[in-house]
Structure 1
Amino acid sequence: MKVARTVAAMVLLAVTGGCVNHIRPYTPKRRQYELPSPPQPEGGQQSEGSLWSAGQPANYLFSDQRALMVNDVVVVKIKEESSAFSDATTKLEGKSEVKLGIDALMGFLAALQQANPNFDRSNIVSAGRKNDFAGSGSTSRRGEVKAVVPAIVRKVFPNGNLFIEGHRVILVNDEEYHFYISGLVRAIDIDESNSVDSTKIADAEIEFTGRGTVTEKQKPGWFSRGIDWIWPF
Structure 2
Amino acid sequence: MRLSIRLALAAIFLASGCAQIPQSSLAGEPEWIEIPLPPEPRANGAVYQPEAGYRPLFEDYRPRMSGDLLTVVFNEQVSASKNSEVNADREGASTFTADTAPLGLEKLAEYGLDISGSSYFEGSGGAEARNTFSGTLTVTVLEVLPNRNLRVRGEKQIRINQGTEFIRFSGIVDPREITGENSVLSTQVADARIEYIGDGYINEAQTMGWLQRLLLNIAPY
Q: TM-score, normalised by structure 1?
A: 0.68
Quote the residue 1:141 is aligned against: 129
Could you tell me how far 1:178 is from its partner in structure 2?
Answer: 1.2
User: Percent identity at matched positions?
Assistant: 28
> Which residue type is aligned with residue 214 of structure 1?
I
Quote the residue 1:103 is aligned against: 99
Quote the residue 1:164 is aligned against: 152
1:148-227 residue pairs with structure 2 within 5 A?
148-227=136-215
| Structure 1, gaps ≥5 residues long | 1-23, 32-50, 113-119
1:36-75 residue pairs with structure 2 within 5 A?
58-59=55-56, 61-75=57-71
Quote the residue 1:83 is aligned against: 79
Post-superposition Cα deviations, 1:176-211, rounded to whole Å, max 9, x if no partner, equal: 221111111122222122111111111222212222
Aligned residue-pair number: 178
Distance 1:68 1:178 in 2: 27
Question: Any idea what SS the aligned residue of 1:191 has?
Answer: coil
Identify if the C-alpha distance between structure 1 residues 131 and 186 changes in structure 2 by more than 3 Å, giving closer, same or farther. Answer: same
Kept in 2: contact 1:57–1:68 (CA 8 A): no
Runs of 4+ in 1 over 4 A off after TM superposition: none
Could you tell me how far 1:57 is from its partner in structure 2?
Answer: 6.0
Could you tell me how far 1:52 is from its partner in structure 2?
Answer: 10
Which of 202, 205, 230 does residue 218 from structure 2 map onto?
230
Highest Rg: 1 or 2?
A: 1
Quote the residue 2:41 is aligned against: none
> Which residue type is aligned with residue 178 of structure 2?
I
Identify if the C-alpha distance between structure 1 residues 69 and 204 changes in structure 2 by more than 3 Å, giving closer, same or farther. Answer: same
Distance 1:58 1:158 in 2: 22
Identify if the C-alpha distance between structure 1 residues 74 and 94 changes in structure 2 by more than 3 Å, giving closer, same or farther. Answer: same
| Structure 2, gaps ≥5 residues long | 1-21, 32-47
> Which residue type is aligned with residue 91 of structure 1?
N
> Which residue type is aligned with residue 85 of structure 2?
T
Question: Any idea what SS the aligned residue of 2:212 has?
Answer: helix
The RMSD of aligned alpha carbons is 2.7
